Structure 1
Amino acid sequence: MAETLPERNSAAEEQDGNKKPKEHSVRLRLLTPLSRKQWAATSAVVFLAFLIVAGVAVLIARWVMGLEAVEEFVARYPGEYALPESAPVGIPAWLGWQHFFNMFFLFLIIRTGVQINRERRPQGYWRSKRGGKKISLTLWTHLILDLLWVINGAVFYILLFATGQWVRIVPTSWEVFPNAVSAGLQYLSLDWPTHNSWVNYNSLQELAYFITVFVAAPLAIISGFRLSAYWPKENKSLNSAFPIGLARNLHFPVMVYFVVFTVIHVFLVFATGALRNLNHMYGAQDSTNWTGFMFFVLSLVVMAVALVAVRPSLVAPLAKRFGEVTAR
């Protein structure tokens, strides 16, 4: 969830421009979206810097892994610890569906969130049948996707604890921390830890999934709700306990976290045995064939179609069922 930047009054802008023309022009340049060439140049610089930093990190990690004390540490903590005997084995089909829907909604939420912050003249507006504030169709789409994502998450939480799958992503031993450090060193040194995610995630995966599910997701929901029009803004106690500035400072970094997590997650899925990993996630089977890969490709097609379908012009007929839609 996100808010659009408030529009300035034209008279105030003119007056401000007469007093501080230089400051005003600088502010306008900062608000102007980057061109494609600027985006390309920025992306190239960031990618080059990433490669340099990654190369240095790998060299340092390989040197560290050669130290006797570190070798003993890795031998003692190989990167994972044994789960309780009651832990379920395998990844059920419902978890694969939850994984897809979570990715589907999250991708569209990030997409519409970026659009909201870049949108200066919305293509249309929506207002509830019960009245209230008029919002852009892009923001309405963003809120609907948020709601569907929360519902999907609620179902995930229920099934996670009802089936015992929670034990795979919730640390049950303090050994998770030294094992996570060990797994991280192995990844950085490119001598990647061997594990069977069908039975048990390594400790670094476990902590990453735990943070994503039980920390990042709730922060995204509560900060987004604070920024939305549905927050009880007249409640001084709530506003004082959770200032809107804090919500803004949380919401964007959480979005960045989800993007970074997704990029790393997808990279490791393909780099550590793509067919078997995709079968785990999409085929609910521990085998090496093309079933999971085909479902993965199909999911990308569905997401691509959805990306086109969430345009305001195509969303408007659906939005009209729940309120009043007007042109800009």
Structure 2
Amino acid sequence: MNSTTDSTSTETGSATVDHDVAIIGGGSAGLSAATTLARSLRSVVVIDGGEPRNAPADGAHNVLGQEGIPPLELLARGRAEVRGYGGEIRPDTVVDARRDGDRFVLALESGDTVRARRLLLATGLVDELPDIPGVAELLGHDALHCPYCHGYEVRGSRIVVLATSPMSAHQALLFGQLSDAVTVVAHSAEALGEQERANLGAAGITVIDTAVERLRIRDDVTDTGDAIARLDGVELSDGTVLDADAVVVAPRFVVRGDLYERLGGTLAQTPMGAVVETGPMGATAIPGVWAAGNNTTLNAVVTVAMGEGVSAGAAINADLVMADVQQKLAPVA
């Protein structure tokens, strides 16, 4: 049975609810953790601001048994599963987090407050895109960054890689496995060193040393009659237009780590960017706080985030079990 029951008070016009576990972020990691905890009869709440990173994508791939499922449909199914096991989903945003004795207190944008014995941060990250006109409009359709998420869908097509970071050459080599028509445009001169250029040359990938002016966009209509922006070529600064069916970009990954820092944590620096550092099964350096998903693993795809969520949920449940046992064994003062 649940070790903590929900209690609601309205002392100042806002509600305060107490849970075993509060999960901040309702993506693949957060919902997977919530399901794991709810199946262990934990009182769990998922607080989600409704900004899934993969919302622009047509489908989520490498999801066993759900190949190509639209990301928003996958999340809708996940929320239904959490609710089916008794978990709560709150559409809201956490604006502050602090420890209060043996509880964590979360202040919500709505004015409500959530208290929980344990906290899971599944806040994900934000993709900071290259400042090139057209990239944001085409992201998730004809502007891609992950060969495992969307590469198969552009196999054999004309792919232009916009080299803006040291990761761009690696991206080009991976997309080169999927197409013989890959071209790299060295938009940022410092993005490609001598070794990267040698690697690309060995793979038969052409490098053009010209900056990108913009991505040309045309309006298409889908089979369902919906309008959609599609790539109509890559225009370079010298006026040349490259024919392309897809472009590959290298975003800067920025973890949503402000709440972790508010709780006293420090983000760890990695070659790909800052992350919430975790130990086995998602435990952070802050007692009682776990993390899972893209805020800990910048390159985690949907299924990896799911796995991290399940592991963190299991670890939190085990931690609560032992805490309850130790409390019962403690001598009465």
* TM-score relative to the length of structure 2: 0.23
By relative contact order (CA 8 Å, sep 6+), the higher-ranking structure is 1
Q: Which is strand-richer, 1 or 2? A: 2
Q: Which is helix-richer, 1 or 2? A: 1
